[in-house]
Structure formats: C-alpha cells, structure tokens
Structure 1
Amino acid sequence: MTDPIADFLTRIRNAVKANHKVVEIPGSKIKEAITKILHEQGYILSYKFVQDGFRSTIKIALKYHPETRISAIKGLKRVSRPGLRQYAGVESMPRVLNGLGVAIVSTSHGVMTDKEARAQKVGGEVICYVY
C-alpha cells in the first residue's frame, strides 16, 4: 500500500455509503491523530485503539442522524498525496466550505485542524478535507 491515509479515508467513506455502524482500520500514529480530530469535531461517535502484540487497529463507530440515518460525514477528500504534496502557510491556510468543514493539517506542532493552525500561527501539509 503506497498511501495508508488514502486507504484510511476510503474505508471510512465506503463504510458510510454502506451504512455500517463500525469500521476497523489498521492503525498508525497519524491515523490515530486524524481519528481523534474527527471525534473532537463531531464527525464520528466514538473510537477505540486496539493493540494486538505489534499490530494495532482502530475501531471507529460512525455517527448517523437517529431518524433519517444520514451520516455526519458528507465528504472526505485527500489533498496532499505521496506523488504531489500540498503545503500551506498561515496566510494561505484553506477554508473548507467557508468554515463549515475542516481541513486536517500536519504541522511541526502535530496534527491539527486548520482553525487551530491559524490560532497557533503555523503552516504545514494539508492532509485532507472533511465536511
């Protein structure tokens, strides 16, 4: 697998389309950081990191509207990829859907949202958009 973050986003996207309640994804530190941001921003219901010896997995409980069964995640888009990295400074930090969505950014201070990066005045690699 050449792009594990794209695989992570695709597994979530496919689980949302199939109306699954839980999705299991192979774990890594960057995926754990992205999962924490998704939970803090209210896009997923809960998550659990499971360590099986040297292998780790992430179990994510997806969030749906109780009556209409519409997912909280409308779209996930991978921005920076191994073949073409996308970086943004503080002044050129992207706004997703005019502030309604979230851009997840990998900075020198860790993985954070675009709003946190603007507040801390740091730029970095734009990993993905979530809306």
Structure 2
Amino acid sequence: MAVVDPVADMLTRIRNAYGAYHTDVVVPASKMKSSIAGILKEEGYIADYAVEDRDISITLKYAEGKPLITGLKKVSKPGRRVYVGASDIPRVQNGIGICIVSTSKGLLEGAKAKEANVGGELLCEIW
C-alpha cells in the first residue's frame, strides 16, 4: 500500500519508536527524509542517522532514560498546505522546540530560515 504522506509516516515511526524505547528506527529513504534526519541530528534530537540502500537508519537519543523528543506534530498536510513568510515562522513551545520549513534554499530549521529571511512550507514542529 502506498504511503500518502511520507514525512508524516517518518515522524510517526520516530514517535512510536521513542514510545517503545527502541534504540533505533528504520524508515524508507528519500532526500527530504534524509534532510529532516540531518536537521534532527544537528539540533541534538537524535544521536545519528545513516542512509543505506533504500532505508535511513536513525539512532534515537535518550537523556536519563527519557526520550529527548516529547512531541512531533505534522503541520502541513496533503489536504491542507501551510505556508509561512520569513516573519511568520512560529516559535515552538516558547523556543524549546524547533520547526522545519521547506524553503527555496532547501529544508531549514525555523530560526535559520528566519535568519536567512526566507519563508516556505511549514512541514513540522518538534519539541
């Protein structure tokens, strides 16, 4: 069966793996998912990721036995796309979390997109 929203599927797999206290999770590979995993690693939400043939293996990170990611929310969905300007990029959980924006310069974390003065499609929020 085909997946309608691959990014939402990736976020759900990560959420479920954290809920079951798994050490890693495997998701089907794509350039967008690889970029999202790179942002998560850069921001410290996951320990590491590796792109293999057709899969991305994500190593999850825990602090004192608790997951670092407490919430994942897909904002822009196939039925309702959400676009934001550079000045409208939201602060997630009063600055505790991050948002990922698909811009003309590629996928960027919200603060970096605001700094680069570019807007785009607001993909997800992570805290």
Superposition TM-score, scaled by structure 1 size? 0.94
Q: Which residue of 2 aligns with 1:8?
A: 10
Shift of 1:97: 1.0
Runs of 4 or more above 3 Å deviation: none
Shift of 1:21: 0.1
Give ranges in structure 1 of 5+ residues lacking alignment. none
Q: Which residue of 2 aligns with 1:128?
A: 124
Q: Which residue of 2 aligns with 1:28?
A: 30
Indicate whether 1:38 and 2:34 are aligned.
Answer: no
- Secondary structure, counterpart of 1:85 in structure 2: coil
Number of equivalenced pairs: 125
Shift of 1:10: 0.2
What is the 5 A alignment of 1:32-111? 32-51=34-53, 56-65=54-63, 68-111=64-107
Shift of 1:91: 1.4
Give ranges in structure 2 of 5+ residues lacking alignment. none
Indicate whether 1:116 and 2:112 are aligned.
Answer: yes
Percent identity reads: 48
Q: Please, what is the CA RMSD of the aligned residues? A: 0.6
Shift of 1:82: 0.5
Per-residue CA deviations over 1:28-75 (Å, capped at 9, x if unaligned) read 000000000000000000111001xxxx1000000001xx31011111
Superposition TM-score, scaled by structure 2 size? 0.97
